[in-house]
Chains A and B, each alone.
Chain A
């Protein structure tokens, strides 16, 4: 469909090229140029979280990477004793929110440690150990129970802004007809820098 005939537009033709008057602009900024034949640049993710500890709740859990469930919600490890890190979002220490969620209760393990999340105190210490051995320390700044239809999900999953840790589970009334809890329990923690 591109059978271009040999261009008759001979260079130097008689047409007075209507050159648009170039504005007296400053020198163009330098144009970034890269070799497109090299492998595409790959974003270097931080090291995934491997362990979550909230000592004041006697909560110590392994953390595994998770993605998205078939229904578009965050995937959650089937065992309530495992916490899931949203692997498409920021790792600990990177800008934005590191989101870690776990079932409050599950078919295979019953009630899990995140059932105690609602009891955490503001100021409580949270520690995340990364796969690479680094230790990230946080302090709880808020604990909230939010109806799911009002949950600011996009804020939890923000990939920009100050690094924060967002822990999510369920709470409120069980709704047997849809087999979900009514609320999310959400703990936000900020790095202590120590």
Chain B
């Protein structure tokens, strides 16, 4: 689900949006979707895609996109925010290969040692089970491995930069916190209420630098909705009292509720009368 781009080259992959403009004609179904998250603290950049300035003064913590792009390879260069063009990139150029029908997020972030890097993640847009939502947690911070606690239980263990973990959960609210692997406190992030939204992939990024003083560790969120699955059917009768065929309900069950019994008797008589 993940492909490294260029370790050691920073904010790269702020790819993006070379934009449909640079791509050949393609139907929407053949397009790839690309979002870009800037997770390098303290660095404002310009992003060039296929030589075109695509994101101007892009700031940390910002999420750009999603953009519909024809499948293909996009070349991305990242420069200081006052550059005139992409001839002297601070990062890159890197090539992003985007496949038709896929949904990507390119993240410029710090690696575990605090050096700028970039990672291209593929977002899970498969249909969720009815009544469930999806949580994706991505570790893109200069920090050691972490556990994610829901309440006091570790639901994710030893997640390391730049890995991700995907969980499908019943829709609802989960109180979650991020701690160093093997600990329960102190919380590096949270606790915070996380909305497990039905039919939605809620992608949480732990980004920043835990070694900075003060720590710049922070949370960023991306939401991809419309992934819901429908109930498999509607079973809306329990007893058989109104059966078209006059089938007699099963008496032992009916004994459980007096009101039901009396109704069942009526039904039984009707059935008998019909014979």
- Chief secondary structure at chain A's binding surface: loop
Residues of A within 8 A of B235 (CB): 69, 73-74, 76, 170, 180
Cβ 8 A contact of B238, one of A42, A115, A153, A179: A179
Residues of B within 8 A of A68 (CB): 130-131, 231
Give the docked Cα–Cα distance between A5 and B113 (Å).
Answer: 10
Residues of B within 8 A of A108 (CB): 257, 259-260
Q: How far is the CB of A58 from chain B (nearest CB, A)?
A: 16
Q: How far is the CB of A153 from chain B (nearest CB, A)?
A: 6
Given A71-B232, A105-B240, A157-B230, A110–B8 Cβ distance below 8 Å?
no
Within 8 Å of chain B (Cβ to Cβ): is A52? no
- CB pair B239–A36 under 8 Å, yes or no, is no
Within 8 Å of chain B (Cβ to Cβ): is A44? no
Per-residue 0/1 for A101-143: is the Cβ within 8 Å of any B Cβ (1 yes, 0 no)? 1111111111100110000000000000000000000000000
- CB pair A22–B112 under 8 Å, yes or no, is no
Residues of B within 8 A of A29 (CB): 17, 19-21, 67
- CB pair B237–A180 under 8 Å, yes or no, is yes
User: A12-B88, A109-B260 known; 15 other A-B pairs, CB under 8 Å?
Assistant: A1-B160, A4-B115, A28-B17, A29-B20, A37-B219, A40-B222, A40-B223, A69-B235, A71-B232, A74-B233, A88-B228, A101-B234, A104-B242, A169-B234, A174-B243
11 A-B pairs within 8 Å (CB atoms) are namely A6-B8, A29-B67, A33-B58, A36-B37, A88-B131, A103-B237, A104-B242, A105-B260, A107-B260, A109-B260, A181-B236
